[in-house]
Chains A and B, each alone.
Chain A
Amino acid sequence: MIAVDQLRKIYRVHKRQPGLAAALRSLIHRPTEDVRAVDGISFHINDGERVGFLGPNGAGKTTTLKMLSGLLYPTSGTLEVDGFLPQKRERAFLQRITLVMGQKQQLLWDLPPSETFLLNRALYDVPEKEFRETLAELTKLLELEALVGKPTRQLSLGERMKCELAAALLHRPRVLFLDEPTIGLDVAMQATVRDFVRAYNERFNATVLLTSHDMDDVAALCPRVIVIDHGSLIWDGPLDDLVKKVKPHKQLRLRLARPVDAADLADLGRVVEQSATSVVLQVAQAELQAVVAKVLSSLPLVDLSVEDPPLEDVMRDLFAGAAAGRDAS
């Protein structure tokens, strides 16, 4: 269980103008500025939940994950992770969590991943039998057999990320903080990692908090999302509800037997795309049934599919709305 209440993190950063004169001035006086990286967010995540933690660059996602994993002290507010105060960084706490950062690695660079696995076994006090079982399971799920004996530096990015995940999960953490775990991976590898995270969550009832700019990760893994922007929480709830609220439209993708005039489409909905025999219409959810019936009866239809708007568009509109709200206030 993760409980966060009115969490704040304010960094004091030095400001300096460019140029030699400013550099010399800064020797005597260094003006500072308070940056509110996280500004009073509250949320509650139950055991076994998979939650997407989203926001634009600089929104405060990584700062929050670092506070939750005990790397940063909060400026104010309270947080609790699996019954522990993260900032105390007790050994029992560190043994229950893991933080996977797509851009940082824990694997020993010049040694095979198997060496990191053995080291982690000792550091996390994993009993020999449990270690073997978990490693066998991870090796199978992530297809690591051919990788664990090669020096880490000789592995591809995707192979390294799979081994990173294995190293991070050998001690069977109950809480997974995943910060961009699929960054830089190809589509097949991304799918493998997503499947694996879901399987681990289901197998061990582990809590997963995931940040990612790849909305496919979020759509595939997270029934619930928490969205922050400029350090403040702007959404906490089911992903479907967020999509419905921000983009209350469906997309109707049509493949036609022959081209049609724009006038034939005008009263069906807003035309998003139109080529010779392919049309994408935006239709209000409430009118969907009627529009589909009309399409079937009036157009030379070959194929029809109903889609949610891309999650990227949903997020863009959500952040634009939040920015407009800030400007107005």
Chain B
Amino acid sequence: MSATSADALSTNHLGGTDSPRTRDTRSALSHALRALPALLRTGFAAVLAYRAEILIWMFTTNMPLVMLALWAAVARSGPVAGYTQEGFTAYYLATLLVRLFTGCWVVYELTMEIRQGTLAMRLLRPIHPLLAHAAENAAAIPVRLVVCTPLIAIFVYTSYASITRDPILWLCVPLSLIGAWMITFGVMAIVGTLALFVESAMGLFQLWLGLSGVLSGYLVPLDLFPERVRAIALLLPFRFTLSFPVELVLGRVDRMQALQLLGAQWSYVVLFAVGTVLLWRAGMRRFGAFGG
């Protein structure tokens, strides 16, 4: 063994110097951070170019309002599982807002790029394609915030009494929204990456959407479920993509529960992030083996 390689080995062994892989990862991360503002700016410009599409998507995301009309009618004769008419109004308006803030579309883009072979163009750029997608998706959030301002005003006006006053819960809200967005993005990225292995990846996503509609609290508050179903729903990731931030905003959990649930939510974030990375690597080996 040469002196140089022996030195390198002993230094690594002692932990005195980072391994080349760690240095590469750090360098890639710092490069990605430098590129992030440009990615966000381009994503923002693209969202503005697609403003009509975004508006249509937002106006067609109206299922919570349909459900609100139904449950408000049911609650006219008395509270349902603790929800009054006002309670349902607060719940579904908060649900609508969380849904609008945390929406992504990476699964559609990714499956299309894989089928059409345009993923190759992304792979040629010196940045991870999923990071670029994440920035493009995240860039839509400020636009949605602006468009949602009237809805936020209506929510505050109609549901003022139901909104939590606890500053700790409010501190948890942005973290829970980011967590919800990241889980949604992670699931979409995983399903999109599956398009490298199976032709019916979008079918799997429809399955996720179907389950999510029920188990995330999008259609019905989880409190209204039978106890056994509810117990299961509270453990699954769907809750953390929607119901959990709503529960925080409406003060339906105490501080300790909020922190515990935040921990659980971010555990799911890590789980899906690791799953995404591993599946992507396997997918790239397949892409590299079979071509695009």
Contacts and interface: CB of A to CB of B under 8 A. Distances in A.
Contacts of A98: 124
Contacts of A123: 35, 38-39, 125-127
Interface string A85-125: 00101110011011101001110101100010011111111
A121 B39 CA distance: 11
B139 to A, nearest CB: 12
Contacts of A104: 117-118, 120-121
A97 B126 CA distance: 10
Given A104-B118, A124-B126, A87 B288 contact: yes
Contact of A121 (B38, B117, B123): B38
Interface in A153-199: none
Contacts, number: 84
A91 B291 CA distance: 20
B121 A91 contact: no
A3 to B, nearest CB: 20
A66 interface: yes
Interface in A306-324: none
B50 interface: yes
**Listed residue (B31, B285, B287, B291) with the most chain A CB atoms within 10 angstroms of its CB:** B291
Contacts of A110: 46, 49-50
Interface of A: 11-12, 63, 66, 69-73, 87, 89-91, 94-95, 97-99, 101, 104-106, 108, 110-111, 115, 118-125, 151
A91 B289 CA distance: 20
B124 A69 contact: yes
Interface residues of B, number: 31
Nearest to A12: B290
Contact of A72 (B24, B31, B291): B291
B34 interface: yes
Contacts of B45: 111, 115
A180 to B, nearest CB: 14
A71 B289 contact: no
A108 B38 contact: no
Given A91-B28, A108-B46, A118 B120 contact: no
A151 B48 CA distance: 13
Interface string B88-126: 000000000000000000000000000001101101111
Interface string B276-292: 00000000010111111
Contacts of B121: 101, 104-106
Nearest to B127: A123
B124 A125 contact: no
A122 B124 contact: no
A119 B122 CA distance: 12
Interface in B248-292: 285, 287-292
Contacts of A151: 49
Given A87-B288, A122-B35, A125-B31, A71 B42 contact: no
B123 A122 contact: no
B31 A91 contact: yes
Given A66-B120, A89-B123, A122 B291 contact: no
Given A115-B45, A123-B127, A63 B291 contact: yes
Given A11-B291, A66-B291, A110-B46, 7 more contacts: A66-B120, A71-B120, A71-B124, A72-B291, A91-B31, A104-B118, A123-B126
Q: Which 5 A-B pairs have the closest CB atoms?
A: A122-B38, A73-B288, A110-B49, A94-B126, A91-B126
B27 interface: yes
Nearest to A107: B121
Contacts of B50: 110
B120 to A, nearest CB: 5
A111 B47 CA distance: 10
Contacts of A94: 124-126
